[in-house]
Structure 1
Amino acid sequence: MEHIVAARASFGYIDPNFPNPDPTDKNNTSIIIYGYTPSITLAAFAAAWFGVHFIIHLVRTIRIRSWWWIPFTVGLVFEIIGYIARSLSAKKNPYNLIYFILNYFFIVVAPVFLAAGIYTILSALIPRVGRRYSFIPPRVILAFFITSDVISTIVQVAGASLVGVKSSRGEDPETANNILLGGLAYQVFVMTCFVILVATFLFRARRVLKEQGLSLFCFVFSVATIMIYLRTCFRLAETAQGLMGELQSNEIYFGCLEFAPVALVVLLFAIWHPGHCVGVVVRVDEKQ
């Protein structure tokens, strides 16, 4: 344990039980950028979890013909690829920069597609129960929130890639980390706006939602929204601490605040599939 603490405290984390298999390989970094050696158990379980739910969501989407839910399913593909890359880091080489970038890129980008599905749910509910219950038109909701997610994700991926490159060269990654932090801060701001919008809509439309038998589904939708929001806040706090901070260098936080919230969301929507609960076809025209 003392060796591990010392390794982290100096310039980064090096696993004394898992030395760099090939220090001369240009794709290998001098430290483990994760801040720990990833758990193969968590990575393999996550890949399997999202794999099973990908099949469930795809089959139900095709059977119901709710094609508007396809982006959520695409997000599950990204999760699977991300955790497969993480499994390779855990089992083969945690120093490999390519594995780290693939892991980070796909796991960070996946929630963009998942969030797009959540934004669409709200946009579908508004015309169904009445435009007067929402402060913003459904078309604007889709355009603004999806565009904002794409922008923030591009910034995050650029920042994360720079962090990996700077760290592999033994250079100060502070500027790159600040770029990543900016993308995450904007994403948290946007998600905060969405959470407030969802809360006000559901409160104002509560009677109509109950009359239409949508109360339970809207509770599931609320939980899913909060879980994605929690995951985004975790990423912001992790990045704000900087490389090798408490949140970034302990995998328990990743498992509980990155994997678990997203895993719960895909489970909830596998049980209460939005295509079945909201409708096969999404209309975003403004019903009064």
Structure 2
Amino acid sequence: MDPTTQELIDNSPYGYIPTLYVCGIYVALFGLATLLHTVLAVRFRLWWMFPTLVAGGLCETIGWAARVWSSQAPDSLHPFIMQMTTTIIAPSFMTAANFLILGIIISRLGPQYSRLSPKWYSIVFIVADLGALIIQAVGGATAASAVQKVPPANPDNGAHIMLGGIFFQIVAMTVYAVLAVEVFIRVRMDRPVRQLAPVEPSSKSAASLNGSVDSIEAEKFAMKPKTTGFGFAKGSKLSLMILSLGLTTVLIYIRGIYRTVELIGGWNGAIITTEIYFNVLDALPITLAMFTMIVLHPGWLLKETSGPSVSQTEVGSVDSAV
């Protein structure tokens, strides 16, 4: 390594010089994923995907474009701050999509198997996700303010705030995963949390827009034929949607654990200053999560052959409540 390169590394806020081709690959992947999610959101009229998956993909694309900039100007603070703030908050938008989708899945399996109604399930965890997002954003702003001071101040306080936001997000995801598994087990064993009152099928299709989510879903469930297993056939669209939800949750969880360990080590720790860890344990899981949700997309897997669309009834009621 020549003296000039070593000097650039010493002056870099990363502790290394981001590799140009790696950054370019991730810009292309996240840009493509964001474009595809935008097209699919419009195609299936799933407008709630814009503030969730599309927003998350856009943040990642901007963050990695900033890292491309950093590869050419490794000592510049502006791209460093840009990538730090966008990549730290991006997964929060994606987890919000998972929370909404789980609410829809619960409504399909039967709300009586869940401790919370589909609407409140989504609301509770989206509020928690929003709280985690705000905490991480505040931490990012605090760290950014510290590194821009002359002379630069210690950004560890901001890192600790970001750590709190990520830890809060992991706790929320853990509770969400535990409750989701409980729902699937209860469906499997046919042990509902509560019994729903018998519902006569209604001939008024528009009534669902004005009724409560619980009564609407009770009516839907009463009209559906009983199935075996987890309430859906093996290889069915609903089972594939649950698979998609499980995979993306695990991938985002891996990224969250990495970020937690990274920030515990401090701003100058061995993990945060090693590029390969960030590329493999942050960017790669989120990339896989984005494309998993494209291949196993709710527009295809949760669309019913008849009746109102997913976005108009099941998610629409959550959006209006939030």
What TM-score does the superposition give when structure 1 sets the normalisation length? Answer: 0.83
Q: Tell me if the contact between 1:75 and 1:111 (Cα under 8 Å) persists in the aligned partners.
A: yes
- 1:199 corresponds to 2:181: yes
CA distance in 2, matches of 1:111, 1:87: 20
- Of residues 220, 223, 234, the one that matches 2:247 is 223
- 1:129 paired residue number: 109
CA distance in 2, matches of 1:159, 1:190: 19
Q: Letter of the 2:66 partner, please give it.
A: A
- 1:55 corresponds to 2:35: yes
Q: Deviations over 1:156-215 (max 9, x none)?
A: 222233323334533333333322222222122112112212222233335203376422
Task: Tell me how large the CA RMSD over aligned residues is.
Answer: 2.5
The 3 A distance-change label for structure 1 pair 154 and 18 is farther
Q: 1:1-288 residue pairs with structure 2 within 5 A?
A: 16-17=4-5, 19=7, 31-70=11-50, 71-91=52-72, 93-168=73-148, 169-206=151-188, 207-210=230-233, 213-279=237-303, 280-282=309-311, 283=314
Q: Letter of the 1:88 partner, please give it.
A: W
CA distance in 2, matches of 1:191, 1:156: 16
CA distance in 2, matches of 1:111, 1:172: 26
The 3 A distance-change label for structure 1 pair 124 and 260 is same
- 1:6 paired residue number: none
Q: Deviations over 1:109-162 (max 9, x none)?
A: 221221111111101111111012222222222222222222222222222333
Q: Which structure ranks higher in relative contact order (CA pairs < 8 Å, sequence separation ≥ 6)? A: 1
What TM-score does the superposition give when structure 2 sets the normalisation length? Answer: 0.75
Moved more, 277-286 or 212-221: 277-286
The 3 A distance-change label for structure 1 pair 110 and 177 is closer
Q: Which runs of 5+ in 1 are unaligned?
A: 4-14, 22-29
Q: Letter of the 2:130 partner, please give it.
A: V
Residue-pair matches, total: 265
